[in-house]
């Protein structure tokens, strides 16, 4: 029986050459660790840019439409229409209060009012991207609430997305998430802001 050659045995146990080390595959756990980073990092950078320029982007993208004679909101359709000479010429999807059916009765009921009102003032620096005030409650709303012993509530606005979250507007518009206001995405809000003067009538129908 011949003994193994020590030199041959040492050669088989020699460390990998640099060329061999370069072609050695990465362990699976490292790939799993890097995969989320590769996809998440660009997404986070993109979202950061959207938030950084949240007020500039709608102004860059919005058109300068003709002035509206009135505004119509159809709650059942979840649509807001700009009306000129009796005809709608622009429309967008809206989100309503968390309890979308029925006329607003009291503070905190999460309902969006129904009826004829006026867009009587505006706020360029609200908690959302711009806002136009709906003149709810009117005299009839106040009288009805007083008879019930309720506070009718108020501060109903047409507004864009909550500041800092405009990049999620495409998703939020599919949920009735406001406290009674009428929410649109930021670019449509910029168009509405330009098209609607203070004193423009608004009709909100069921």
Return d(Cα 62, Cα 182) in angstroms, integer: 19
Q: Is residue 115 part of a domain?
A: yes
| Of 42 and 75, the one with more pLDDT | 75
**What 8-state DSSP symbol labels residue 45?**
H
pLDDT in tens, 12-37: 555 555 555 555 666 666 566 666 66
| Of 142 and 165, the one with more pLDDT | 142
Res 61: pLDDT: 86
Q: Is residue 139 part of a domain?
A: yes
Q: Is residue 107 part of a domain?
A: yes
pLDDT band of residue 169 (cuts 50, 70, 90) is: confident
Res 7: pLDDT: 58
Q: Is residue 114 part of a domain?
A: yes
CATH number of 100's domain:
2.40.440.10
Q: Is residue 3 part of a domain?
A: no
Res 165: pLDDT: 73
Task: Report if pTM > 0.85.
Answer: no
The domain total for the chain is: 1
Q: Which domain holds residue 74?
A: 59-205
**What 8-state DSSP symbol labels residue 74?**
E
pLDDT in tens, 92-126: 999 999 999 999 999 999 999 999 999 999 999 88
Q: Is residue 63 part of a domain?
A: yes
Q: Is residue 88 part of a domain?
A: yes
């Amino acid at each position: 029986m011949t003994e193994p050659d020590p030199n041959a045995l040492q050669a088989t146990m020699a460390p990998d050459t640099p060329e061999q080390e370069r072609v050695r595959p990465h362990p699976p756990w490292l790939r799993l660790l890097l995969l989320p980073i590769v996809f998440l990092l660009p997404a986070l950078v993109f979202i950061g840019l959207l938030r950084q320029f949240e007020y500039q982007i709608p102004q860059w993208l919005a058109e300068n439409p003709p002035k509206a004679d009135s505004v119509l909101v159809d709650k059942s359709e979840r649509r807001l229409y700009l009306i000129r000479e009796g005809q709608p010429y622009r429309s967008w999807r809206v989100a309503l209060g968390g309890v979308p059916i029925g006329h607003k009765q009291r503070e905190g009921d999460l309902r969006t009012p129904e009826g004829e009102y006026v867009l009587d003032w505006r706020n360029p620096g609200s908690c959302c991207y711009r806002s136009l005030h709906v003149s709810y409650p009117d005299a009839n709303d106040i009288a009805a609430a007083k008879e019930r012993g309720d506070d009718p509530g108020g501060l109903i606005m047409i507004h864009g997305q909550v500041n800092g979250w405009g990049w999620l507007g495409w998703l939020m518009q599919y949920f009735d998430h406001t406290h009674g206001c009428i929410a649109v995405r930021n670019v449509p809000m910029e168009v509405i802001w330009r098209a609607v003067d203070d004193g423009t009538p608004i009709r909100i129908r069921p």
